[in-house]
C-alpha cells in the first residue's frame, strides 16, 4: 500500500502527459502576471489537474528550475482545497522573477491568476 504524504499535492491532480500540456497550451487562455504565467483550459467533466513548467531558457539551470517549480507547487498546494475538483486544466509557467519574488507577493499573484481564470472559490472569512 502506497501512502501519500499528508502535505503533498496528490498525484491525481497533477498533469503527467505531454498531451495535457499541449491541450492546455493550444486551447487555453493565458493569464499573465509579473512573476509567472497561468494557462487555463476549461475541461468540463474532467478532474481539475495542474502542471508546472520552468524552462532552462526562462528560468535558468536545474537548481533554479527546481526551486521555481517547488515554490509554485507549494503555493498552489495550500490553495488546492479552494480549486474546483472538476473542470480545469491549469499550467503555471515560471519566469526568472519567480525565484526572487517575495513569497507573499508570489502567493498573492498566484491567487489572483487563479481567480481571473475562474478556478478559485473565494475564501470564507
Domains of the chain listed by start with CATH number:
18-116 (3.30.230.10)
Residue 55 to residue 61: CA distance in whole angstroms: 9
Average pLDDT over residues 107-111: 96
What tens digit of pLDDT does each residue of 17-48 get?
A: 889 899 999 999 999 999 999 999 998 888 99
Cα-Cα-Cα-Cα dihedral sign, residues 70, 112, 56, 91: positive
Residue 65 to residue 79: CA distance in whole angstroms: 22
pTM of the model: 0.88
What tens digit of pLDDT does each residue of 45-85 get?
A: 889 999 999 999 999 999 999 999 999 999 999 999 999 98
User: Which band of pLDDT confidence, cut at 50, 70 and 90, is reported for residue 122?
Assistant: confident
The angle at the Cα of 119, spanning 118 to 124, to the nearest 5 degrees, equals: 95
Pairing state between β 29-32 and 49-53: unpaired
Contact 80, 49 (CB under 8 A): no
Amino acid at each position: 500500500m502506497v501512502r501519500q504524504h499528508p502535505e503533498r499535492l496528490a498525484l491525481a491532480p497533477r498533469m503527467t502527459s505531454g498531451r495535457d500540456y499541449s491541450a492546455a497550451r493550444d486551447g487555453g487562455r493565458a493569464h499573465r502576471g509579473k512573476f509567472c504565467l497561468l494557462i487555463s483550459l476549461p475541461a468540463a467533466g474532467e478532474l481539475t489537474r495542474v502542471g508546472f513548467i520552468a524552462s532552462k531558457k526562462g528560468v535558468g539551470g536545474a537548481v533554479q528550475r527546481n526551486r521555481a517549480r517547488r515554490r509554485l507547487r507549494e503555493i498552489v498546494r495550500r490553495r488546492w482545497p479552494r480549486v474546483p475538483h472538476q473542470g480545469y486544466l491549469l499550467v503555471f509557467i515560471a519566469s526568472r522573477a519567480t525565484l526572487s519574488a517575495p513569497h507573499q507577493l508570489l502567493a498573492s499573484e498566484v491567487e489572483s491568476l487563479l481567480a481571473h481564470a475562474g478556478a478559485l472559490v473565494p475564501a470564507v472569512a
